[in-house]
Structure 1
Amino acid sequence: MMQTEISSRAAALRARLEGTAVDHARFTGPPVDFNDWTPEELGAVWGALHRAARFGHDDVARFNLAHTLLEQVTEAGLAPLLAGAMFLDALDAAADYNREWEYVIGCLACLQGEAPAGTAAQARRILGETSGWVERPYQAWLLAHLAGGDAPAQFAQLMEERHARYPMPLTLQELALLPQLAQASLLALAGSPHSSFWNRNSIGEADPAAVLADDAAYAAFARTILEQAARHIAAIHDGSVPYAADAAFATADSPVLARAARVAAYRDDAWFRPVIAVLLPLACVAPGAAKSAPSQSLAMALGHAVETIPTPESLLALRTALAQVRHAGIRKKLERNLKPAERALAERPDIAWRIGMPGPMGKRRQAMLARRLEAGYASEVWFGLDQWRALRDDADIETVARALVWRTGDGLAFMLDGKGAIDAQGQPVVLPEQGDIGLWHPLHGSGEQRAAWQALLARRRVRQPLRQVYREIYAPPGDGGAPFAGYQLSLPTLLGLARREGWRLDYDEGLSRQFGAWRVLLRLGGHVYPGAGGACTSNGLAPAQMMPMAPVAYSEACRAVDLLVSASALALLEEEHSVQRAERLFYLANLAPGPMAGMRRTVLEQVFANQIEDGRMALEARHLMVGRHAIHLTTGRVTLDGAEVASEVAAKGSKLGAVPWLPHDEALLEKIVGLAGQLLQH
């Protein structure tokens, strides 16, 4: 019916997707590549694609074709342009139950111009029964107003019955605001699967608060309800309002307050600073000595808000809350938010140092400062020259700043020395009068420059607050393979450490984490889920996006994966799989890592007793040192002053049979012994 309006290739594909008869039963048609299609052409087949991808027909070829093409659309990040009859055709593909609402909201986001006649009837059909409206209020509100008629009144009555019984019905206040919001804001609220709750698992997806931050009506609403909530929680603590455990706010209202906090944090509004300093700490602790809290749900929701988009003041509020909270469950949750929040704040250098570092200068405060600087590596954060000078001249921060290597925008690497600066040879250099300053990374210099900085710090006995000149560096494998593949990992150790380090568990893929503009995946094989026991297989690191990663971001991602693998690796993969080996790995996976590492060190001390006594080798906490080379005791990775060294050892097949009591994978220990022997011969 629409073939005269679209290109011949779109018409041909639409015919295939709709099951038009073909000359031969095995005909599949030419391959389709959407990358050179226009949004209008994609819109012409959008409805047909989704109808073919749903159950209800018995054409397996059409079903598989549609799924393949939709995967291509997702991977390429393509979107259709929908208008008129094309928009109605796309809506027609939606089933009338609320799991289809996200697809419909996506169609609305792609609508060009006004909604055509017939949209209201489609929207009313898709809305279906009111039973599903409460769970997805923003999507239901948008569809109800699109449907018109009595649907908006039905929605309002349903929400009133659900929320009006609470003393501060913040959800109703937010819903009353929706007519004042821009269409982009409504779509952001309705289009996010996490629009009602946002946490670290949402990082990397579109945050509706980022769009709402540009909407003046929502920004004003955010201030109103956050200040209202802060006054209410303060009244509970001063006795003006009676205290009841976990009853300060309705559970459904906590996500509204947390979203408002994220909006204010994106905008970095000045009024937000004193509000979060009151709201987060007081929500975590009961008046008096009780171990309960006014609102567990708000405390945890605000903790996630601080983690995902922190400001200096909200991070300070999180630390204050941790210092005074008595509820063990809340403490455990907030502790998980702290380190990711510090990393996220480092990527906002324009505001990160506004209030310096809290508390008196000492080892703990210096470590916090170093972590914040280090967290900016993946994004290669730059400071404006005036901002950097203010940090340099801060009496507390100066101690840390003088122990680090910096670089200018034109590539000059330097350290502070007295009132001036020096290069890697210790020679004075003149810093520019304008430009930016960033933290130097070993990948910013050659091998000779890295060695020069290492020698300079050794001569001057400078102890760096973070691992910098000796920092491990990683380059992409030359054969195109996936790094860190081929290990058996202990799931309890892996998942516990991954959680603390800010990794997200994607059940179909493995672990993912953001490094600057890039998201990376540590692909895992096996049955991996929160709380899982036993072992899984590491299938290597891979970028989640098509675009290549910057060298520093890639190296930092590898370094983070190396930590996971080093802490949780049990064994190398072997071609032979037996019931006995599977049982042994499951047993090892649930052992404490300390005794296992101690046993490995004991064996290496016995094997290389003479070499260690002669000073040709040394055993450290995680490495066997052979001269300047380091062999990791868990992964077998060899480095020279932090840089990876290619190495291979042919397995002799003995598997160190003389020590069958070793609670380890013998092949891995054999590899370490073989590598050490090779390095001794050089």
Structure 2
Amino acid sequence: MGLAARLMRALNEPEFALEDEDRHPDLSPVSDEELGSLLVAAYRVGASAPHAMTRIRFAVEDAASRRRPRYTPDACRAMFEALVHKCQEHGWADLTLGLGALERCTGPLPDVSEPSRTLVEFWLEKDTVRQPYALLAVAGLAGDGTLRAAVERLSRDVGSIVADEIAVIAGLSPAEQKLLSGIDREHRFVSPLAPAWRRSADHPAYVAFARRALEAAADRTDAIRAGEIPYRADKAFTDREITSLGQALRVALLRDEPWLPELFDRLLPGIALAPTPAKTLPSQALLYEVVRAAQDYPTPELVTAIRTVRRTVRHAGVPKQLDKMLKKVDAALAERADVALRLPRLGFDTAPVSGSAAVGVLRRPAGDYQAVVAVTDTATLTWQKDGRPLRGVPAPVRRDHTALVKELRELVKRVNAQLVTLTRALEGGCTVDAVHPYGWWRTELAGHPLARTLVRRLIWEIEVAPGEWRAVLPEADQHLPDAPDDASVRLWHPLRSEPAAVRAWRDLLTERRIRQPFKQAFREIYLLTPAEEQTRVYSNRFAAHLVHYRRMFALLRARGWTSDRLGPWDGGDGDEAERTFAAGEWRVRFFHTWADWAGDDELASTDQVRFDRRVEGAWRETPLADVPPLVFSEAMRDVDLFVGVSSIASDPDWTDGGPERTYWERTSFAELTESAEARREALARILPRLKLADRCTLDGRFLIVRGDLCTYKIHLGSANILMEPDDAYLCIVPARRPGDGKVFLPFEDDRLSLILSKAFLLAADTEIADESILIQIKRGA
């Protein structure tokens, strides 16, 4: 008896005893057709089934999620009968399983009209239909009469937008209905995988509905503001309409429809601001659904519209929630390189300011005065009279041009928000290896009055001949190389360069005092280690660390990772934080578990990192050696950040005992990670330019600082301090010294700033006034 036959008996006969090797089966030898038949049997296994049967069911379902089962005609019919059984026994069944079986049927399609009719009649008796698209497709299999009954029921009391949607779906062929059923959502908090949206975005009838629906929604909010429809807080749209509008918006965003920006300017204020002074919203639920759609398929225009609304909404709790959601939107926009770099000019010109390189400038008259908005590192608003700069807003301007002052201040906020979005998008290109036409890049990025401040401080590679890439830093090289407009240009990455070239770029940035918008030349790179080649599908590089959990959880969210909150409750003991890279083709999972309380703080323990590749719409775990080097390096860089910033080893004030103290002592002064090595390289270039250079040396893992009272060793990873000669620990709680910000750093790094702050303090240790520090130094000396 083969493996498939043994497993089939185990799923159908509770008394059947499996051999030991079958209790945790490897289903790779099972054919796709056999897997389809097994999945039908597994679907009939109930929650009260014996443990052995349930274990096989889970193994089959797991294999089916990673493969595409195929179904014989008999298995297709059996799947529909299993759905009927599930509805009758448990009150619900996943109709898309039946439609999927028909789609992948290996023979003539069987007659499933009778079970289909039973399924539709069952659902039409319910108050809520959880899969309306799939139900319409199943109703079509049961015959015209059943389809008409389903349309009538689904269109009842749902509003004109949903009724239009139901009519569109009902008019499609069964194959087209099956394609659209992929975006069926039981609730709006879960979004289907990208392939389902792409199929829907290619369907003309649904695309046309999407525009009608969104314009109808904007018309309704216009009518509420005009008083034509009575205002009721959060009642502008029904729950079902919000779900349908969210689906319509995702399709339009995926297609990047040109009519969307104008619609955002109408719809978002309409759902976020009451027509009265009330602090409520016409539809808080739809506002959040729009942001969730932006998390799936963001555009710069939608991100800007959300940020604009965030500043004007009156409800106290909404801005805070939007801020949380926008972090994921920014990360998603960075992955969508085809639209992420689109930036409006907003009336700005390119002009020199005070002898500096050309920047983006906008000038507006205000009586005898002139407003100047200049974009250098960020956008700033200043005022002039007769060409002379003024310190603040002139009194006549405040009095006579109130609207202009408000408009320009809002413009500054909007430009700065766009610069943040652009920075995230550019950095996100590190994993997708985004390539742009040289002519477009020259005018729309390097020459753009707003974007140029960021773009010119980054290193780019231009393909001057086939396969020949030339690296250039526009801020330092005023003459860009000659290349045709259709030549390729991409962001430079140290992973693709020789070590000598990387060192040269780092030297140039330091010498020219060019601060990059994100860490590029000094960017850490992570290569596969021999240990990871041995473990094959997982990395333990950042495992077994103890971290401040709340701090790490905040970092996960800030970097666009998805993770459930952990804690001492059922199901809260462990999670896999995850993030997609390379335009959604790769997923990295970072395992961690809740550990314990430490006073009022929570601790977590870190574990493995694994990678998955999207194959035929499903995630499939992939050996580390098969992960693209850029994806691997950027993902591990994130995990290094999480551990490095939140580890208790970086807490100078840690005093708890037990295993945590043992970990702290072992890790606080351990070998340097890649991020700490990059810090060391930056210090090697910065130190000779500082007034304390003669008191500092770099020695392995430490910055050695010679004070008058003692000599100190600052660890380049944790920033913790040991005192010579016996390595006594010196506790200094982080506090920035006045003037520390004047030290040039080629990139933003809080730990590097902290190390330099401590170095300045300890180099002048005779001037320290803090008694708690002095007592420790004198005791160590």
TM tier relative to shorter chain: 0.7 to 0.9
Partner Cα distance (1:184, 1:316) in 2: 38
CA distance in 2, matches of 1:19, 1:140: 32
* 1-structure distance, mates of 2:420, 2:56: 54
Deviation of 1:382 after TM superposition, in Å, equals: 1.2
Alignment of 1:408-423 (within 5 A): 408-409=462-463, 410=467, 411-416=469-474, 417-421=476-480
Q: 1:146/1:236 Cα in 2 relative to 1: closer, same or farther (>3 Å)? A: same
- Which residue in 2 is equivalent to 1:552? 630
* 2:524 alignment partner in structure 1: 472
Matches within 5 A, 1:373-522: 373-390=426-443, 391-409=445-463, 410=467, 411-416=469-474, 417-421=476-480, 431=483, 434-480=486-532, 481-505=539-563, 509-516=575-582, 517-522=585-590
Bigger drift between 464-473 and 91-100 goes to 91-100
Match of 1:561 in 2: 639
- C-alpha change, 1:223 and 1:367, in structure 2 (3 Å) is closer
> Which of 348, 361, 380 is the aligned partner of 2:336?
348
The alpha-carbon distance between structure 1 residues 48 and 498, as it changes in their structure 2 partners (threshold 3 A), is same
Specify the alignment match of 2:80 in structure 1.
Answer: 91
* Contact in 1 for aligned 2:272/2:287 (Cα 8 Å): yes
2:695 equivalent among 611, 615, 635 = 615
Deviations 1:311-338 (A, max 9, x none): 2322221122123222223222322233
CA spacing shift, 1:565–1:295, aligned 2, 3 Å = same
Gaps of 5+ in 2: 349-372, 379-415, 533-538, 565-570, 614-620, 651-655, 664-691, 706-712, 735-754, 759-781
Measured in 2, the distance between the counterparts of 1:183 and 1:159 equals 17
Range with bigger deviation, 537-546 or 515-524: 537-546
Deviation sequence 1:10-55 (CA, Å, 0-9, x none): 5565456544998x9857679965446543343344423444x545
Deviation at 1:440, TM superposition (A): 0.8
- How far does the alpha carbon of each residue in 1:238-281 deviate from its partner, in whole angstroms, 9 at most, with x for none? 33433222222123211211211111111122222211221123
Cα 1:152–1:456 change in 2 (3 A) is same
Partner secondary structure for residue 436 of structure 2: strand
Q: Distance in 1 between matches of 2:450 and 2:23?
A: 67
Aligned length: 589
Distance in 2 separating the partners of 1:122 and 1:582:
60
Code of the residue aligned with 1:553 in structure 2: it is V
Which position in structure 2 is the counterpart of 1:222? 210
AA aligned to 2:231 is Y
Match of 1:81 in 2: 70
**Residues 63, 372 of structure 1: CA spacing in aligned structure 2 closer, same or farther, 3 A cutoff?**
closer
Q: CA deviation at 1:375?
A: 1.8
State the alpha-carbon separation in 1 of the partners of residues 520 and 479 from structure 2. Answer: 21
What does residue 717 of structure 2 align with?
Answer: 632
In structure 1, the partner of 2:535 is none
Q: State how 1:63-78 maps to structure 2 within 5 Å.
A: 63-74=54-65, 77-78=66-67
Q: Is the 8 A contact 2:462 2:489 kept in 1?
A: yes
1:252 aligns with 2:318: no
Output the CA distance in 1 between the equivalents of 2:630 and 2:296: 22
Q: Measure, in 2, the Cα distance between the counterparts of 1:137 and 1:450.
A: 56
Q: Distance in 2 between matches of 1:376 and 1:280?
A: 29
Q: What RMSD in Å do the two structures reach over aligned CA positions?
A: 4.3
CA distance in 1, matches of 2:285, 2:134: 23
Could you tell me which residue of structure 2 aligns to residue 117 of structure 1? 111
Distance 1:186 1:133, change over 3 A: farther
Provide TM-score, normalisation by structure 1. 0.75
Distance 1:626 1:175, change over 3 A: farther
User: How far has the Cα of 1:512 moved from its partner?
Assistant: 0.8
Aligned to 1:575: none
Q: Which moved more, 1:298-307 or 1:175-184?
A: 175-184
1:367 shift after superposition: 4.2
Shift of 1:420: 2.0
Q: Which residue of 2 aligns with 1:593?
A: none
Deviation track 1:334-363 (CA, whole Å, cap 9, x = no partner) reads: 222333333333433333333346685251
* 2-structure distance, mates of 1:302, 1:25: 51
Q: Distance in 2 between matches of 1:213 and 1:385?
A: 30
1:524 — aligned with what?
592
Could you tell me which runs of 5 or more consecutive residues in structure 1 were left unpaired when the two chains were aligned: 1-6, 422-428, 573-577, 586-611, 637-648, 664-672, 677-682
Kept in 1: contact 2:35–2:60 (CA 8 A)? no
Does the residue aligned with 1:120 lie in a helix, a strand or coil? helix
CA gap of 1:62–1:159, structure 2 versus 1, over 3 A, is closer
Aligned position for 2:101: 107
1:217-255 Cα deviation digits (max 9, x unpaired): 111111111111112212222334332222221232112
Does the Cα contact within 8 Å between 1:349 and 1:383 map onto a contact in 2? no
Q: Kindly tell me: are residues 564 and 102 of structure 1, through their superposed partners in 2, closer, same or farther at Cα, counting changes over 3 Å?
A: farther
Q: Aligned partner of 1:519: which letter?
A: R
- Which one of 285, 307, 312 corresponds to residue 297 of structure 1? 285
Query: SS of the residue aligned with 1:526?
Result: strand
Equivalent positions of 1:133-212 (< 5 A) are 133-148=128-143, 152=147, 155-156=150-151, 158-161=153-156, 163-164=157-158, 168-181=159-172, 183=174, 186-191=177-182, 194=185, 196-198=187-189, 202=191, 205-206=193-194, 208-212=196-200
Query: Is the CA contact 1:196–1:256 (under 8 Å) kept in the aligned structure 2?
Result: no
Q: Indicate how the Cα distance of structure 1 residues 29 and 570 shifts in structure 2: closer, same or farther if over 3 A, else same.
A: closer
Give, in whole Å, the separation in 2 of the partners of 1:495 and 1:533: 13
Task: Give the Cα–Cα distance (whole angstroms) in 2 for the partners of residues 344 and 357 of structure 1.
Answer: 23
Cα gap change, 1:26/1:457 in structure 2, threshold over 3 Å: closer, same or farther? closer
CA drift at 1:537: 1.2
1:100 Cα offset (Å):
4.3
- Tell whether the 8 Å contact from 1:490 to 1:570 is kept in structure 2 after alignment: yes
CA displacement 1:149-174 (0-9 Å, x = unmatched): 8755664555455x34xxx4422322
Counterparts of 2:456 and 2:714 in 1: how far apart (Å)? 28
Alignment partner, residue 666 of structure 1: none
Measure the CA separation in 1 of the matches of 2:323 and 2:174: 37
- The answer as to whether partners of 2:714 and 2:720 remain within 8 angstroms in 1 is no
- Aligned-partner residue type, residue 273 of structure 1: P
Judging changes above 3 Å, is the alpha-carbon distance between structure 1 residues 252 and 431 closer, same or farther for their aligned structure 2 residues? same
